[in-house]
Structure 1
Amino acid sequence: MMKAMKKIYKTLIGGSLLSLLILALFSCENYLDKAPESIVSEDMAFSNFTNFQGYIEEIYNCIPDKEKKYWTTSWNWGDDELFNLEGNFHMTHQVDIGNFWAWQGSASTWLDDDNPDPTSTDKFRHGLWAHAWYCIRKANMGIANLDKLTTATQEEKDLIAGQLYFFRAWWHFEMMQYFGGLPYIDQVLPSGEKLTLPRLTYQECADKAAADFAKAAELLPIDWDKTNVGKRTLGKNQLRINKIMALGYLGKNYLWAGSPLMKNGAQTGGANTYNYDEEYCRKAAEAFGQLLNLVESGQTQYSLAEFKYKDIYNHVRAAGATSCYSDIFYTMGQNWLMPGSTEAIFRGPSTDYNGSNWNTTKTFGPKVKGLVEHDNIIHHPTANYVNLYGMENGLPLDDPDSGFDPTHPFKNRDPRFYHDIVFDGFKYVNAAMPADMEYLRYAGLATGGTMRNPADGSRTGYFIQKLVPHQANKYDGAYNWSGNLHTYLPYMRLGDIYTMYAEACAAFGGASGQATDFSKTAEEAINTLRDRVGAGHVNAKYTSDPHKFMDEVRRERAVELSFEGFRFCDLQRWLLLTEYPYNVKTAQEFDRVEDVQFFENNDPRDAEVANFREVPILTRQFGTKNYWFPLKISDTSLYPEFPQNPGW
């Protein structure tokens, strides 16, 4: 039966959007084992909570895993990252050269998949576009059959309906971020009818998604563990859709709709980058405010993970710390515990624990002499992005009062810099090494250094260790089975909510902007995140000017959410994707003053350097068309009301 259902799905996907929208698609549950042209058996599939929930489970299974979608994959397409030369086939580089068509049918990007299967537990078989229309159809079929749920309590009915409304909106929203306004499918489209559904504007789509997210928030509990239904699976409900997730996406959906791109349209020049739709931003602030009020009053299972480290470079938590910032992104030595800590709000499944180590955990460090094993693919943070990590006192590097010293460029930086970034002199290997490999123990990232070969080292003068610890190397062996290293990128977490709340409030009220249902201002929300890590508050010189304050909100978002896959969409919606300096990727060049013995006995942040300078690697030549990805020609050729995005 499973094999037959896979064949049906493959046939439909191999066709077009038309097939996905008008043909009935089914779950692989036994009670849904029907011919492809039939209707789901309402008296079995939808009559009780257990069967109906089984029908919904497949939608959870379809959520793409951005990090592990392929042997090597990419999800950072802004000014934040680039690959070494052998990684040029990845979407990151294809975006750099303007080839936005590359998202289509590519196994190495999570936006699409050339061989999708909603029933499969293989993480390689799940892509956004491939599954979205399928899951939207499933949600609509479920909503259309809610009246068949007769053998159920009111709590069970609400849980079923809430999940369906959430997922209908979520799949639309995820596509809208990259493709703009689409037809919003909120009914089961009958087979055989001619399609005439128009593409809506972004804001028209957002209004429909908001109605669904709001309805989900009304129906769903904060914590499934505290429901009668959830007690049957106590302690295993963390991924279930709840009120906090629905409120988070309600706010995000409104903020995106109120952002400069969505209000003013695609354009170059950056003149409208601070021009938000204040009505949408107020709605966003209210949704985020309700969520944060619930969190800060202790009514939820969520809280900011602690940033308390005994050893920041090795991510060793301090004694007494009850949660850990690093655990949001990966866990190690915790019996394959799924990452997220107390902070991750929305995640998909990650059942293939050791799948992290098939290659994801082997794509962040130097490949010199096989120091990090497997394919020669490396994620590099750009120097221009690393510069967004300001000083410990809270000021940006280019502020004349920041205290930044180019002869000691790694000293007194924002504490997240030391957590996230591998810089020159960093002790990369802790374990014993062969004598002829000892020269690679300390990261040689100065100009001409031991790890600066663009083919198998760093092109930019830095590596990333936020998402994968540096111990994922041949000698420390964190990626070996015994390390229990499990990675996963959440789609939404609490730190994300604080930055979005601050942005929404700042759009209509500057630093003192505030929702009616939460006590903190935009400024206080940003300072909450800085207090968590021990960085200085936003300086008064920035809070007094709405545009300068918005710049600081955006910088905070860049640092707090670095390399988590949000930067491209942020630059896009701020109308900055085409603008300097956000269209440039750079490297950090400098000469060492200290010798290697210095790093053996001293903190690398205290090292002196000379000739510290930034050098361009590439400039992205973008125009207005690059604010949206191109749709598939096979889809835009279906009917006149479904046109291609402008310029493509």
Structure 2
Amino acid sequence: MKNKIIHILFALFSAGFIFTSCTDYLDRDSDSVLSEEDAFKNFNNFQGFVEVMYNVIPDVAKHNWVSSFNWGDDEVITTGNGEYLMGYAIDGGNYRSYIGKGDCFLDRSWTVEGDRFAKSLWGGGWYAIRQVNVGLEALQNGLLKDATQEERNFLEGQLYFFRAWFYFQLTSYWGGLPYMESVLAPDAQFNLPRESYQENAEKMAADFQRAADLLPVDWDNTTTGSRTKGNNAFRPNKIWALSYLGKCLLYAGSPLMENGGENSNRSYNADYCKRAADVLGKVLAMVEGGQTQYALVDFDKYSSLFYTKEQNWLMPGGTEAIMRSPTYGADSYWRQMNSYQLAAICEGDGIILCPAANYVNYFGMANGLPLDDSNSGFSKSQPWKDRDPRFYNNFIYDGVKMIKAPSEERKIYQYANLYDGGNCCDDPRKSSRTGYFNYKFIPLGANRDDSDYGYGKATHFHLAWLRLAEVYLLYAEAAAQGYGSPTGKSSTFTKNAVEAVNVIRRRAGVADVASSYTGDLEKFMGEVRRERAVELAYEGHRFNDLRRWKLLTEYPYNIKTVQKFDRAEAFDPEADAKERKVINFREEIVTQRKLSGKHYWLPFKTDDVTMYPEFYQNPGW
């Protein structure tokens, strides 16, 4: 590393190498390296080095034909040919079966220049952390000769952000790790011990804060960013850094990180939560004060958070998406179409990721009450009436149209026949196992017969890693737990915890949190957890939420159910599906997960935990 540096410019991806572990650094041909003097001499070259790290951010929702990335109590997978998916490994408690199989973004065969849908958090994360330290060392050694102070700040800020962010992702799944803050020489003896999660969190927090201090709110409004104006939305900025700083601190104060997974203590660390609320409140105050480029999208544009159509492959997310990975391709019409629909109307291999009925139950009533509240108005004879508007946005339920213009062969599937024995739920291998289909990420018409959608229509699916709605909900949780009350608030923001939740509900047309849930902290936390389940449904958050709340192993969070019923009247395709009446409505368990304390953290590979004694395995594995 004295005279040459690996992978300097984004344009040199073709000279990439396979990252095999955090201690293996392969020798390179002289044609695939640049001298340090050239690599870091000016802002443009140095920025090219930084942007290699953008390319290793995983895309959790795209891999092969079907992508399993929701591993909480939210999804049931069809049987017969989907058992290789990560969801099955989680349900069975056999976390080790995901290792090295290639079907999960956590850990798979990985290269910088490889399959754009095969980025690996484990390999890519360690690679990026090392690259950060290489870059920071270059700055400290004065290798950057030709740059303004603003340019230097932006380079340094990006590096600190990426080190913290990749550590945050890694530690969220595996727990505390060695926190590397300098370049490890290839011949050095590596024996840094694993730290606790909270020890790591303090170092992540320091890095996120450094990034926030160095980065602008909006690159477009700076001299440096003006050269790429209009193309800066995917660059780390002050809002990214502060939002993740708050999330990092809330995670550090959450029950799992505070108490460990081997006991029943579910208390929070109030100090961490107060710190989180202060930072998140600052972000929200800036947003509501019009000092940022971010805002909640109107509910009539809600689907644009997840997919766009006929907009020249416009990246979804609008003004609400904070952090998004770069798009690695936009053939998402095929991937999502085949992940969520009845096999008979799509073009996949029959695997369907079905919304678990118990999870659908979190979508309460438009009056703001949960289904099991005696005043909610929920009726088992009309189970889809007057529900939270997000219910209708997310799910296909019995009687809803699935095909606009079906072929003669598929007319029998035009409407979802999800009653007991209906042709949309009669085969656990090719139809719904739960009584529902997930349409949050695909529009009506994404099927074999309708011509409105498809690659030629530029239907683009992409999930943000963090969006503004989650910042409101993180703040609500942190303020309530930090200050011990649903009306808890930080001095950095005008709204208290209840009011922050209500911002998200009102956007969707849902009534505020009822007063019967705002006088008691635990009752309110039930509504916070439910609101996260509804607003962030199927965006890859639930598994980590259940783990950090220490609810993954607890009833009713360890079951997945199906809803069965018979139609009470003859089917009329012109009738409003919301008003349909049913009889014999019942709910049955499809899967009950037998998980224990060890399942709160993922296991390491045997090769990792035998490198040296200080790098030990997680408990129980």
Number of the residue aligned with 1:596: 571
Number of the residue aligned with 1:265: 260
1:538-577 paired onto structure 2 within 5 Å: 538-577=513-552
Q: CA deviation at 1:391?
A: 0.4
Query: Which residue of the other structure, out of 449, 462, 480, is the alignment partner of 2:454?
Result: 480
Q: CA deviation at 1:616?
A: 0.2
Q: How far apart are the structure 2 equivalents of 1:227 and 1:594?
A: 64
1:170-569 paired onto structure 2 within 5 Å: 170-267=165-262, 271-273=264-266, 275-308=267-300, 324-354=301-331, 356-368=332-344, 371-431=345-405, 433-452=406-425, 453-509=427-483, 510-569=485-544
Q: How far apart are the structure 2 equivalents of 1:607 and 1:245?
A: 45
CA contact (8 A) 1:76 1:564 kept: yes
% identical equivalent positions: 47
Taking a change above 3 Å as real, the CA distance of residues 4 and 519 of structure 1, as seen in their structure-2 partners, is: closer
Letter in 2 for 1:135: A
Letter in 2 for 1:33: S
CA deviations 1:361-415 (Å, max 9, x no partner) are 32111013xx111221111100000000000000000000101111000000001
Taking a change above 3 Å as real, the CA distance of residues 4 and 388 of structure 1, as seen in their structure-2 partners, is: closer
Number of the residue aligned with 1:578: 553
Number of the residue aligned with 1:319: none
CA deviations 1:495-524 (Å, max 9, x no partner) are 111111100011123211111111110000
Q: How far apart are the structure 2 equivalents of 1:470 and 1:107?
A: 31
Count the aligned residue pairs: 608
CA contact (8 A) 1:70 1:107 kept: no
- Give SS of 1:601's match: coil
Letter in 1 for 2:323: F
Q: How far apart are the structure 2 equivalents of 1:106 and 1:46?
A: 37
CA contact (8 A) 1:381 1:462 kept: yes
- Give SS of 1:299's match: coil
CA deviations 1:181-202 (Å, max 9, x no partner) are 0001111112212111000000
CA contact (8 A) 1:222 1:243 kept: yes
Q: CA deviation at 1:73?
A: 1.6
CA contact (8 A) 2:384 2:578 kept: yes
CA contact (8 A) 1:526 1:553 kept: yes
CA deviations 1:213-249 (Å, max 9, x no partner) are 0000010001111111211111111101100000111
Query: Which residue of the other structure, out of 3, 22, 27, is the alignment partner of 1:17?
Result: 22
Taking a change above 3 Å as real, the CA distance of residues 224 and 539 of structure 1, as seen in their structure-2 partners, is: same
> Alignment RMSD, CA only?
1.9
Q: How far apart are the structure 1 equivalents of 2:465 and 2:561?
A: 28
CA deviations 1:437-459 (Å, max 9, x no partner) are 22211101111111002111100
Q: CA deviation at 1:436?
A: 4.2
Q: CA deviation at 1:329?
A: 0.6
Taking a change above 3 Å as real, the CA distance of residues 25 and 263 of structure 1, as seen in their structure-2 partners, is: farther
CA deviations 1:547-579 (Å, max 9, x no partner) are 000110010011000000000000000010100
CA deviations 1:125-181 (Å, max 9, x no partner) are 311001111100000000111132221111101110000000001111101011000
TM-score normalised to structure 2 length: 0.95
Taking a change above 3 Å as real, the CA distance of residues 101 and 491 of structure 1, as seen in their structure-2 partners, is: same
Taking a change above 3 Å as real, the CA distance of residues 192 and 325 of structure 1, as seen in their structure-2 partners, is: same
Number of the residue aligned with 1:92: 87
CA contact (8 A) 1:328 1:341 kept: yes
Q: CA deviation at 1:468?
A: 1.9
- Give SS of 2:598's match: helix
Number of the residue aligned with 2:3: none
Number of the residue aligned with 1:143: 136
CA contact (8 A) 1:9 1:25 kept: no
- Give SS of 2:17's match: helix
1:146-165 paired onto structure 2 within 5 Å: 146=139, 147-165=142-160
Query: Which residue of the other structure, out of 66, 69, 72, is the alignment partner of 1:72?
Result: 66
Number of the residue aligned with 1:641: 614
Letter in 1 for 2:337: T
- Give SS of 1:18's match: coil
CA contact (8 A) 1:344 1:492 kept: yes
Q: CA deviation at 1:358?
A: 4.2
TM-score normalised to structure 1 length: 0.91
Q: How far apart are the structure 2 equivalents of 1:425 and 1:410?
A: 11
Number of the residue aligned with 1:125: 118
Q: CA deviation at 1:475?
A: 1.5
- Give SS of 2:561's match: strand
Q: Unpaired segments of 5 or more residues in structure 2? A: 1-5
Q: How far apart are the structure 2 equivalents of 1:223 and 1:4?
A: 28
Q: How far apart are the structure 2 equivalents of 1:294 and 1:4?
A: 38
Q: Unpaired segments of 5 or more residues in structure 1? A: 35-39, 309-323
Taking a change above 3 Å as real, the CA distance of residues 97 and 470 of structure 1, as seen in their structure-2 partners, is: farther
Taking a change above 3 Å as real, the CA distance of residues 466 and 247 of structure 1, as seen in their structure-2 partners, is: same
